[in-house]
Chain A
Amino acid sequence: MESVESQISEWRAYVGGSPALNGQDVDELEDHLRHQIADLTEAGLTPDEGFLIAVKRMGDVDALSREFAREHSQRLWKQLLASGDESARAASGWLEAFLFAAAAAVAIQVARLAAGFPDDEGGDPTWFVRDLSLFVLPFLAAYFARRRKLDVRRWVLTAVPFAVAAVVVNVYPYDADSATEMLVALHLPVVLWFAVAYPYMDGTIRSHQRRMDFVRFTGEWFIYYVLIALGGGVLMALTAGILEPTGVDVDRVAEWVLPSGAAGAVVVAAWLVESKQQVVENMAPVLTMLFTPLFAVMLACAAVVYAVTGLGDTFDRELVSIFDALLVVVLALVLYGMSARAPSTSPGWMDGIQLVAVASALVLDLVVLGAMVARIGDVGFTPNRTVALGLNIVLLVNLAGAAWLSARFLRGRSTFSRLERWQTAYLPVFALWTAAVVVIVPPLFGFS
């Protein structure tokens, strides 16, 4: 059955390569293909035979995309000029995104005022920091739920994780200066981001294809968000420069504009990814192509140095968090590079570089893990060390699997879709791990 799945995804990539067909058309054709295969297998053929006949019946792909091009000629010109109804649809989508962005901006502002943040006396209420993502990401989830036209049941399922998170995070009695509270504040946005995946994927969270779509979305969203943040920063700096001489308290202005802008940009960036997909589609693979080799070189050097010298005395909390951040970034880069890759092409030099990056990261992870286990043996578990250890183990398993599969792929012993599937199948592990940090770790350590 698996070979048919990979054949279908190859066919999908091939058909989707035509600019005349958009993702929805390909979805529709794939649904047709699967129906046909199912009917043929029911009639006694093997899935492979069914696939062949179904593809044959679907017709010559070139002729098909010509036919689509005739009907959807505007798509070929999407980047150059938008035809009438296209821009009308974009305009209504804009309004919707704007409303959700505005709602997030207002929500964060109300919460900020309620919390009296920032407090000039330095007594900032920590609940505001802890709950930050709860004021923003529900709006993103709702935006997608609306955009995907989810039914009532799916709306409820979308809301459940947010409601549970809101209760859990706020019911726990954290100590003052609690380390577990900081960990919750760090992990909650990630947990909620995974919760956004549900409405984004239309509730079809079992589909590996859609999971990869979500990975791609995350990468593209990040790029747009950084771009918006850069532009916003320039705007803020210029505004401050202009208002300064008039005696306006610039800090007060920033207090209002910054949180709202940052919250609203979360939804706006998502909308940009959805509606201007073709723009970022061209940019993102270039960025990964640029940075994956650079990271690979840096990681390889670091891996050699640390493998020879060991961590020794330099090991401290700060270094561990830098290592963890580095590993997460590498993983993100590899995952994103994977999502942007055409599954049917044979191994190339980029795959080799990815393997170097993954293998080096694996070595670094082992070094950190060894040092950490020794440290915990000396002085015992603390919340921070436990979470760092857990994250390293979760990453270690992932990187080991990825390195093994991509080595096999490079030697032609395995297909790329196996590697892709390993990563998409592993995504729930990350979700569960971050959820565990938010839900289980605080009580485990008495909210200290």
Chain B
Amino acid sequence: MHIDKDLVAASATPLVLALLADGESYGYAILKRVRALSGGDLEWTDGMLYPLLHRLRRLGYVTTEWRTPPEGRRRQYYMITDDGRAALAEQHRQWVAVTRALNDVWPGSGRMLAAAGEA
């Protein structure tokens, strides 16, 4: 299933924040989890994750720290802040509202899949 580019972009922020709410992580690990969660349906261009992460840092939703794991290369870890958790909760409310509204208008679950396929 191919998911529309705008939808991917819109869901990126809450996805990343939600993953970081589970615990600190770094770029490649975040991307791998997104891929696993969506079964490959969410097609991210790997590189684009980093400008997004840096934007979250500028907004104060995450903090970063360079660390070198015992065996491995130096890498940047991202940790969610309280502001980030608040933003995540807000996003959560908005997405719930959107999906509830959509659920109300979808005539049936069978038609819903067809509609998503057309989109």
A31-B27, A36-B28, A202-B74 known; A70+B45 contact, CB < 8 A: no
Contact check, A202 vs B68: say whether CB atoms are below 8 A apart.
Answer: yes
Contact check, B50 vs A25: say whether CB atoms are below 8 A apart.
Answer: yes
Looking at chain A's contact residues, the main secondary structure is helix
Does A27 sit at the interface, judged by CB under 8 A? yes
User: Which 5 residue pairs spanning A and B have beta carbons closest together?
Assistant: A59-B45, A35-B28, A59-B47, A67-B51, A64-B47
Does A78 sit at the interface, judged by CB under 8 A? no
Does A24 sit at the interface, judged by CB under 8 A? yes
Does B58 sit at the interface, judged by CB under 8 A? yes
A24 interface neighbour in B31, B73, B76, Cβ under 8 Å: B76
Number of chain A residues whose Cβ lies closer than 8 Å to a Cβ of chain B = 27
Does A12 sit at the interface, judged by CB under 8 A? no
Bound state CA distance, A59 and B46, in angstroms? 7
Does A58 sit at the interface, judged by CB under 8 A? yes
A59-76, CB < 8 A from B: 59-60, 63-64, 67-68, 70-72
Does A252 sit at the interface, judged by CB under 8 A? no
B26 CB contacts on chain A under 8 angstroms: 31
Contact check, A68 vs B51: say whether CB atoms are below 8 A apart.
Answer: yes
A70 CB contacts on chain B under 8 angstroms: 51
Does B33 sit at the interface, judged by CB under 8 A? no
The minimal Cβ–Cβ distance linking B32 to chain A, given in whole angstroms, is 8
Contact check, B73 vs A28: say whether CB atoms are below 8 A apart.
Answer: no
Contact check, B51 vs A32: say whether CB atoms are below 8 A apart.
Answer: no
A58 interface neighbour in B45, B55, B58, Cβ under 8 Å: B45
Contact check, B68 vs A28: say whether CB atoms are below 8 A apart.
Answer: no
Does A385 sit at the interface, judged by CB under 8 A? no
Does A57 sit at the interface, judged by CB under 8 A? yes
B68 CB contacts on chain A under 8 angstroms: 202-204
B47 interface neighbour in A24, A27, A29, Cβ under 8 Å: A29
B55 CB contacts on chain A under 8 angstroms: 71
Contact check, B28 vs A57: say whether CB atoms are below 8 A apart.
Answer: no
Number of chain B residues whose Cβ lies closer than 8 Å to a Cβ of chain A = 20
Contact check, A32 vs B66: say whether CB atoms are below 8 A apart.
Answer: no
A31-B27, A31-B28, A202-B68 known; A57+B46 contact, CB < 8 A: yes
B21-68, CB < 8 A from A: 26-28, 31, 45-48, 50-51, 54-55, 58, 65-66, 68
A72-B54, A149-B66 known; A32+B76 contact, CB < 8 A: no
Contact check, B74 vs A32: say whether CB atoms are below 8 A apart.
Answer: no
Contact check, B27 vs A32: say whether CB atoms are below 8 A apart.
Answer: yes
Does B92 sit at the interface, judged by CB under 8 A? no
Contact check, B74 vs A27: say whether CB atoms are below 8 A apart.
Answer: yes
Does A34 sit at the interface, judged by CB under 8 A? yes
The minimal Cβ–Cβ distance linking B25 to chain A, given in whole angstroms, is 12
B51 CB contacts on chain A under 8 angstroms: 64, 67-68, 70-71
Contact check, B75 vs A31: say whether CB atoms are below 8 A apart.
Answer: yes
* Chain B residue at smallest Cβ distance from A35: B28
**24 contacting pairs across A/B (C-beta < 8 A):** A24-B66, A24-B76, A25-B54, A27-B74, A28-B50, A31-B73, A32-B27, A32-B31, A32-B47, A34-B73, A35-B28, A36-B28, A36-B46, A54-B46, A57-B46, A58-B45, A58-B47, A60-B45, A64-B47, A71-B54, A71-B58, A202-B68, A202-B74, A204-B74
A71-B55, A202-B68, A203-B68 known; A64+B48 contact, CB < 8 A: yes
**Digit string of A141-162 for contact with B (CB within 8 Å is 1, else 0)?**
0000000110000000000000
A29 CB contacts on chain B under 8 angstroms: 47, 50
Contact check, B73 vs A59: say whether CB atoms are below 8 A apart.
Answer: no
Bound state CA distance, A366 and B69, in angstroms? 47
**New A-B pairs, 4, CB < 8 Å, besides A24-B66, A58-B46, A59-B47:** A31-B73, A58-B47, A71-B58, A148-B66
